[in-house]
Amino acid sequence: MTSQVGMPLGAYLKECFTQMVEWRRHFHQYPELSFKEENTPAMIASILREMGLDQVREKVGGRGVVGTLIGGKPGKTVAIRADFDALPIQDQKDVEYKSKIPGVMHACGHDGHTAGLLGLASVLAQHREEIPGTIVFLFQFAEEENPGGATYMVQDGAMDGVDAVFGAHLWADFPYGSVGIAPGPVMANADDFTIKIQGRGGHGAIPHQTVDSIVIGSQIVNNIQTIASRNVDPLESVVVTIGTFNAGDNFNVIADSCKMTGTLRTFLPEIRDLSERRLKEIVEGTATMMGGTAVLDYDRGYPAVINTAAEAEMVRQAAISAVGEERLIPLKPTMGGEDFSYYLQKAPGAFVFIGARNEEIGACYPHHHPRFDIDERAMLVAAEVLGRAALAFLHNHQG
């Protein structure tokens, strides 16, 4: 295996940095919510056309944009993905590029993903003669909201003929200049659920004539923690969280019904199946035991992001070339979710975390925080790591 990519990619990208920052700040000032993106994909498509890509497809899966660059030499096809949706958060930063759209903000860094990939596309388009194969640029809408844009783009053929896929997230937990990559699972199966409990309401002082839905709900909250402590192998990962618990109207009334919502996170498919089954059994069993009924409505979200070993190694080598081995961070998987997994169900590939934190410029808040920001130089690192990994894949599979 070689990480030789046939061109000084880092130097080429640096020439494009001012442009990347300009694009990123434009997206940052005019963010658009998941499944409502209009101007962002239109702008992406027009930039890609100006670069002279061989094909630019709009409205892929609804709102996605796919650009195709055919290299000067024959070879395989590799895809690189960036997402471009924003979040329903009021931007509270004091910077001149803060969001101009009330209540909407790029608080996850997707603006940087997209500007970085546009920069990479423009550099590669200028050097297409040296590329042994085809590069597909996937610009994805609606990563933040179930069922996510990726699944629709894949259904609409975005991954047809693609032999490998790479993606990155700018990461606030890691300092600028560092890169986190690992083979195997890196992000979780992210499922959500609703529990509706039906008891029998009545007077708060006459409990024996009622079935108290709050007491049932309380028991369920406790009992479902035994999925982690008593059902799943302690060396495997599972999180069960109840996020909302709503019941009751008055202090002296026993609540007739109770509703809870929560999320269940796992990595392995068999642990996901087991946890969903146990959740249902415990919810229904606990309610029955206490004379009420309960219904579980379980909604499977994004599947786990599982990096394939060979492609994760290509990204690791790419990162060593881009930032040096001492800046690689041993990546612990996160229980967050990402719909990049849908691309990985179609082709091998890897998802990499690019350090974007810099206290000195105020880029020190977590993702989805109203003051979230990135060190914009992280876009260069992301573009170089993804570009090098993609080119390495094409070079390694030549002939």
- Chain positions contacting Zn ion, by CB under 5 A: 108
Q: Which two tokens stand for residue 277?
A: 């089954």
Alpha-carbon distances of 150 from 155, 265, 319, rounded to whole Å: 9, 20, 25
**16/187 with CB nearer Zn ion:** 187
**189/257 with CB nearer Zn ion:** 189
Q: How far is the CB of 170 from Zn ion (least distance, A)?
A: 8
Radius of gyration of the chain (CA): 24
Strand partners, 244: 261
Q: How far is the CB of 173 from Zn ion (least distance, A)?
A: 13
CA 69, CA 383: separation in Å to the nearest integer?
16
Determine if residue 397 is labeled as part of a ligand binding site: no
* Per annotation, catalytic residue among 32, 91, 111, 143: 143
Give catalytic status of residue 83 as yes or no: no
Give catalytic status of residue 145 as yes or no: no
For residues 27 and 114, is the Cβ–Cβ distance under 8 A? yes
Task: Enumerate residues 6+ apart whose C-beta is below 8 A from 31.
Answer: 86, 87, 99, 101, 104, 105, 106, 111
* Per annotation, catalytic residue among 32, 37, 83, 85: 85
Q: How far is the CB of 58 from Zn ion (least distance, A)?
A: 23
Determine if residue 368 is labeled as part of a ligand binding site: yes
**78/170 with CB nearer Zn ion:** 170
Max Cα distance, the chain (Å)? 83
CA 341, CA 284: separation in Å to the nearest integer?
31
Q: How far is the CB of 336 from Zn ion (least distance, A)?
A: 8
CA 54, CA 18: separation in Å to the nearest integer?
25
Determine if residue 144 is labeled as part of a ligand binding site: yes
**110/395 with CB nearer Zn ion:** 110
Determine if residue 108 is labeled as part of a ligand binding site: yes
CA 109, CA 154: separation in Å to the nearest integer?
23
Q: How far is the CB of 143 from Zn ion (least distance, A)?
A: 6
**108/389 with CB nearer Zn ion:** 108
For residues 237 and 335, is the Cβ–Cβ distance under 8 A? yes
Total residues found in the chain within this entry: 399
DSSP state of 143: S
Q: Which two tokens stand for residue 374?
A: 């990135």
Determine if residue 28 is labeled as part of a ligand binding site: no
The catalytic site residues sit at: 85, 143
Binding residue positions for Mn(2+): 108, 110, 144, 169, 368
Binding residue positions: 108, 110, 144, 169, 368
